[in-house]
Every structure is written in C-alpha cells, then in structure tokens.
Chain A
Amino acid sequence: MNAQTLYDKLWNSHLVRTEADGTALIYIDRHLVHEVTSPQAFEGMRMAHRKPWRVDSILAVPDHNVPTKNLAAGITDPISRLQVETLDANCAELGITEFKMGDIRQGVVHVMGPEQGATLPGMTVVCGDSHTSTHGAFGALAHGIGTSEVEHVMATQCLVAKKSKTMLVKVDGKLGHGVTSKDIALAVIGQIGTAGGTGYAIEFGGDTIRGLSMEGRMTLCNMAIEAGARAGMVAADETTFAYIKGRPFAPKGAQWDAAVTYWRTLHSDADAKFDTTITLDAAKIKPQVTWGTSPEMVLPVDGIVPDPANITDAVKRSDTERALQYMGLKANTPITEIKIDKVFIGSCTNGRIEDMRAAAAVAKGGKVAANVMLAMVVPGSGLVKAQAEQEGLDKIFIEAGFEWRDPGCSMCLAMNDDRLSSGERCASTSNRNFEGRQGQGGRTHLVSPAMAAAAAIAGHFVDVSKQ
C-alpha cells in the first residue's frame, strides 16, 4: 500500500461512499453541539419528522451566551436566554447528553470535549463552529460545519465532503523562554496568510510540535482555521494517550489497550507525500502580537507597526491604512509602546489549565497597571476553573487585580455582556481580531496568555521572553 498521510488515514477510515465527481459521504463519530448554531437544525428535523441517527454521538453544551459573572442570576438578555433554553429543551426531548449552565463540566465546547475524553484519536469530529479544528490535536479529523450540516449530520451521521489537499507545517528546534504554541500559530499565519491554508488540511509536525503538551497542540490546531484550513491535526503519541487516559468518555480496560494499539498507527507514514510543506525554526519565533484587523497582521513583539508608505502593492497598502485607522495606530510605532485598556484571558484558544498557569506565573506578585480598566480571566470550563482554584491561581489573579470569572466564550465574541466599547484596546488570548469582534469599534490585539498577563501588569505590550 502507498504511504499515507495522517489525513489520508482518517479520511479513508471514515469513507462511506464516493460519487463520480469526488463528493464523498464521511461517517461522523462525534457531534458537538452548542446553543447558537443548533436551534434551526433541531427544528428542521422536527419539521421533517426525523430523529437523530445516533444520539450517543452527540454531546451538547451552552457556551456562547453564558454569563461569566453572577451565573446564578441567569441570562438577562431574553434572546440569549431563549437560545440556551431552546438547547436545553431540544436535548431533553431527544435524550442528548448536555452539560447545562451550572454543571461543573460546562464550558466552551472545544475545551469541554477533550476534557471529557469525548475527543479521541482516529475520530471524525464536527461542531457547528469553525474552531472545531481544535480537536485535530488528538490525531482526529475535525471540521467546523454550518447549521444545515448540523442537521444533516444529526439525521444521517454523515457529512458530505470533498477531500482536501494536504499541507505539512513542520516546526523544529527549541522554543525560546516565554514563547508558546500561540506564538507558533500566529507566526505560521503571519507567514502563509489567512488564506494560505484554504483548501488544505494542515498537519503540524516536527520535534517542536512533538514536545508540546495537549493544551499547546489544541491552541495550534484551534488557530488552523485562521490560516484558512478547515482542519488542523497533530499525530497521536504518548502525550495524547497520557492526556486521555482515565477521562470520563475514554475507553477503559481491554478496550483501552486495543484503542491505543490502533492509535499508534495514527501518524503520517515516513515517506508520505504532502501537497505543500512549510518549515519553521522554533528558535527564531518570538512572542507575537497582532497589530491589525486580521490574524495575519502580526509581528514579533520587538517589531514596529508597518508604514503604508513603504508598501508598494496598492491593495495591501490600502488594507494596511484601513487597519491602522480602525486600530487607532500610527505607522512605525514600536509594538511595546502600544498601551491597552482591557485584557481578556480565555476562549477555546487559550482557556485551558496550562494557559491559566502561564498567565498566573507572569501575574504573580504584580499589579494590573492603572491605565488598564479591566483585566479578566475566564477559564474555559468549570473543571478548568476548579483545577485553577485548587492550585491557588485564582488568588494570584485576584491579588494582582484581575477579575476571576465563570467559564464561557465571553469576550472572545462578545455575545454575552463582556465586550469592548468603541475605541477600547484589548490584549486578548482569543483567535479573531476582526473589526467589531469583541464589541463594536473595539480594538483587539491577539497574544499568548503570558503576553496578555504581562501587558496587563505593564499597561502596554512587553516582551515576556526578556522577563
């Protein structure tokens, strides 16, 4: 048999049938559901008198609309509340497992799934959310899907898909002090652009990636979508197995052994061919900060904001001008001189325990700067929150002047009450710095948790690799 990439293996092991034009039916093992993109899918099923094909493949959680403060008071906005209540009602009616608001297991869907062991190597995973690519960190094939597809998967257990091209992003070498997988992700996007991965499934490989924790790999795969790739993945290995073992949905006993035997095959064969390969030297990656309104508008922390006058390409020049204007930045400003108003540490990109630890390590003993009016830490799930509290991280944050909140998507997309006001500038560990993403007129700079915490203390961006 020909040498196969990890993507080929995952694709082939889920192929139900292929049409003459290459359109395929792919069997889906795990379907994660949240409140925003599911209601019309459930209603469509009801209207067509259909039932889910396999209820036990579905796991639901509300996250986008969940308040991160005063949870007991419930959701005040009636439209938000209705979305969450509708999810509760749909799950109850169909017997779908749901971790409701107030359940310690509730959290951002892409934090919750892996944490429960509901994402396993070799699986196909879908969710009506673009950051579903996160789950590829387990050697799984994970796709974000639209609402019509949510309904399609629920009713048929299959997704209609066409095979992607493959891209290997190979990172070798030792990461510098204070440099994290978020910085790798942003550096990759800076190099290939936000459309660089369009049409590809990206596999992250190389010894730097092998050395990353599962949290770090999830951050990286989470951002694959920002590089334009619908799926990102990392081969399964001992780090993967150690993370999964003992989690509620993980296989046990003899099944565990059989599973691990199979999972050990989930890597690209040594001589497998990729359509494109990109290489990065980890030692050269510095902490990254986005300065514009797209994740590809990114610089190392010691960089200076670009000057449109130096850009020859007319389209790029006007994009840069527009971004600088929206961001309220002057050309040639050193990144470290940019002052911030707010800090957001959390989201499905960086809301895991390791992220909390990295931020706390930097915040410890410091005080949030006077010009920073709000620095909030939002754990990715109730379990992350509990673990952090057990380690005393909450106290470190609170003493330093951060707010310690309840889990949810929060200011990643500002669907609940957490948002930026017009003109406010935020150091954020989330994944999108689009215009208005964190609130109308809000200005977002994407960074790692350590960089966000350091910016909170200094009041402007600083190079954590020098601390």
Chain B
Amino acid sequence: MQKFEKFSGLVVPLDRANVDTDAIIPKQFLKSIKRSGFGPYAFDEWRYLDHGEPGMDCSKRPLNKDFVLNQPRYQGAQVLLARENFGCGSSREHAPWALDDYGFRVVIAPSFADIFFNNCFKNGMLPIKLAADKVDELFKAVEAKEGFALTVDLVQQTLTTPDGAVYKFEVDEFRKHCLLNGLDDIGLTLQHKADISAFETKHRASQPWLFA
C-alpha cells in the first residue's frame, strides 16, 4: 500500500448527507473481476445522464453538468467534503476502491458509516471526522474560493486552509501508524515474516509430506 504522506489537495464539496455506497458505486459494477478501474463509475448515477453498465467507455457518456464532480473548477480533486453518515448502506469494499481509483485520498464528513470508515483505512484512504459546524465552515470556504486546497498532515493531524487556518482532527494511533507506513493487513502480517518463515521450517521438518 502507498504510504500516506503530507500533501495539499483540491477539495470538492458534495453537499449531501447519507451518501450510501450504492450511490458511490451502483450494484451493476460489482460483477467486475477487478478492484481497480471503478473510478470512472464513481457516483455513476449522479455523474452521468444515461444508465451505466460495466465496461462502458465513460468518456463518451453524457455528463450531468449540475453534479459537482463535473464542474471544471473541481477537476483533479483529492479531498472529498461531505455531510453526515457518509458511506452508509451495503458493506461493499468497491466503494472505497471507486473513490481511491477516482483519485481521492481523504474524505471529510461529520460522521461516517462504520464499515465504510474501516474499509477506507484498509485501502490507504483517510476518512476525517470533523464537527458539523467545522464542516460547514469548510463548505462555505470551498465554495467561496476557486482552487481551494487543503494541506493534509497526518503526522500533525491537521488540515490547513490556504489562509492558514488550522483544523485538528483525531485518528486512532494504530491506524495512523499503518497509513503512514503504508501497511495494509497483509503488510502488517508481513512484519512477522521471520516468524512465519521460522514456523514453516519447523513445520516442514515435522510434516514433510505437506511440502511435497
């Protein structure tokens, strides 16, 4: 997994509460055999005017110009700003895959659905909970200023606006450690590589037929 380093990213304001995972990535895309390539279909029903199906060439599809992700000033956004209970509904891990593939590294909201919140960390993304009034301030600031970017510093646990205003956020120590070091579940286990190898050697000696 990619290490989570300090960066400054354009913010897109998705002014909705209860954005569910079916909105993030509709169910027809779950038939895919991939975990990458979902980016073009992220928020499919909101982004396009036609009905999306897996394998479609999205560059040729009619865009919903009113949807915020389609507005020219938000192209290339890496930070998604939303309202409460983001990521509710089905547990599909395709939702964080889609956001990640789209290019988001951070989602900011007053609250998140549990499974989605966990799944973000597993995929190297940082979900940030901020108080509702702080989120509100950010919405206003983003809309007021084109090119509004936030500097995300996980080590310091801060978000810094272009004007220098600083927002502190909380993050679980262990998860922070994993993100900063690029450790997913597999990465974590592989930290015990020596233990696994030592076990394997012993196991092979006692039951060689398992390794034939």
Residues of A in contact with B (beta carbons under 8 Å apart) = 14, 16-17, 25, 27, 29, 39-40, 43-44, 47-48, 50, 53, 56, 79, 82-83, 86, 120, 122-123, 148, 151-152, 155-158, 160, 249, 251, 255-256, 258-259, 262
Collect the chain B residues with CB atoms within 8 Å of residue A50's CB.
Answer: 186
**Is B33 interfacial (CB 8 A cutoff)?**
yes
CA distance A151 to B35 in the complex (A): 12
User: Which of B31, B186, B203 is the one whose CB lies under 8 Å from A48?
Assistant: B186
In contact, A122 and B185 (Cβ under 8 angstroms): no
In contact, B33 and A120 (Cβ under 8 angstroms): no
Further 16 A-B residue pairs, CB within 8 A, beyond A27-B203, A43-B35: A16-B196, A25-B196, A27-B196, A40-B33, A48-B184, A48-B186, A120-B209, A152-B186, A155-B190, A156-B186, A158-B189, A249-B212, A258-B208, A259-B209, A262-B206, A262-B207
In contact, A82 and B186 (Cβ under 8 angstroms): no
Q: Which of B62-93 contact A (CB under 8 A)?
A: 93
Given contacts A40-B34, A148-B185, A152-B186, contact A120 B200 (CB under 8 A): no
In contact, B189 and A258 (Cβ under 8 angstroms): no
Q: List the 6 closest pairs (A to B, CB-CB), nearest first.
A: A251-B209, A39-B33, A40-B35, A156-B189, A16-B199, A255-B209
**Is B192 interfacial (CB 8 A cutoff)?**
yes
Q: What's the nearest-Cβ distance from chain B to residue A389, in Å?
A: 31
Collect the chain A residues with CB atoms within 8 Å of residue B31's CB.
Answer: 79
In contact, A155 and B186 (Cβ under 8 angstroms): yes
Q: What's the nearest-Cβ distance from chain A to residue B2, in Å?
A: 9
Closest-by-CB residue of A relative to B186 is A155
Would you call the interface of chain A mostly helix, strand, loop, or mixed? helix
Given contacts A48-B186, A151-B186, A258-B209, contact A16 B192 (CB under 8 A): yes
Collect the chain B residues with CB atoms within 8 Å of residue A249's CB.
Answer: 212
6 sample A-B contacts, Cβ–Cβ < 8 Å, listed by A number: A16-B199, A27-B200, A43-B35, A79-B31, A120-B209, A152-B189
**Is B210 interfacial (CB 8 A cutoff)?**
yes
**Is B1 interfacial (CB 8 A cutoff)?**
yes
Q: What's the nearest-Cβ distance from chain A to residue B27, in Å?
A: 14
**Is B36 interfacial (CB 8 A cutoff)?**
yes
Closest-by-CB residue of A relative to B184 is A48
In contact, A47 and B36 (Cβ under 8 angstroms): yes
Closest-by-CB residue of A relative to B208 is A255
Given contacts A17-B192, A255-B208, contact A27 B186 (CB under 8 A): no
**Is B195 interfacial (CB 8 A cutoff)?**
yes
Q: What's the nearest-Cβ distance from chain B to residue A346, in Å?
A: 25
Q: What is the number of residues of chain B that contact chain A, defined by CB distance less than 8 Å?
A: 26
Q: What's the nearest-Cβ distance from chain A to residue B3, in Å?
A: 13
Q: What's the nearest-Cβ distance from chain A to residue B25, in Å?
A: 13
Q: What's the nearest-Cβ distance from chain A to residue B174, in Å?
A: 12
Q: What's the nearest-Cβ distance from chain B to residue A406, in Å?
A: 23
Encode contact with A along B28-46: 1 for CB under 8 Å, 0 otherwise. Answer: 0001011110000000000
Q: What's the nearest-Cβ distance from chain A to residue B207, in Å?
A: 7
Given contacts A16-B196, A25-B192, contact A39 B34 (CB under 8 A): yes
Given contacts A16-B196, A251-B212, A262-B207, contact A47 B35 (CB under 8 A): yes
In contact, B33 and A25 (Cβ under 8 angstroms): no
User: Which of B34, B185, B200, B206 is the one whose CB lies under 8 Å from A160?
Assistant: B185
Collect the chain A residues with CB atoms within 8 Å of residue B34's CB.
Answer: 39-40, 43
Collect the chain B residues with CB atoms within 8 Å of residue A44's CB.
Answer: 35
In contact, B210 and A123 (Cβ under 8 angstroms): yes
Collect the chain B residues with CB atoms within 8 Å of residue A256's CB.
Answer: 209
Collect the chain B residues with CB atoms within 8 Å of residue A79's CB.
Answer: 31
Q: Which of B116-135 contact A (CB under 8 A)?
A: 122
Q: What's the nearest-Cβ distance from chain B to residue A250, in Å?
A: 8
CA distance A160 to B192 in the complex (A): 12
Encode contact with A along B2-34: 1 for CB under 8 Å, 0 otherwise. Answer: 000000000000000000000000000001011
Q: What's the nearest-Cβ distance from chain A to residue B181, in Å?
A: 14
Collect the chain B residues with CB atoms within 8 Å of residue A29's CB.
Answer: 210
Encode contact with A along B167-189: 1 for CB under 8 Å, 0 otherwise. Answer: 00000000000000000111001
Closest-by-CB residue of B relative to A250 is B209
In contact, A56 and B211 (Cβ under 8 angstroms): yes
In contact, B189 and A120 (Cβ under 8 angstroms): no
CA distance A47 to B190 in the complex (A): 16
CA distance A123 to B207 in the complex (A): 10
In contact, B185 and A152 (Cβ under 8 angstroms): yes
Collect the chain B residues with CB atoms within 8 Å of residue A86's CB.
Answer: 33
Collect the chain B residues with CB atoms within 8 Å of residue A152's CB.
Answer: 185-186, 189
Q: What's the nearest-Cβ distance from chain A to residue B178, in Å?
A: 14
Given contacts A50-B186, A56-B211, A120-B209, contact A158 B33 (CB under 8 A): no
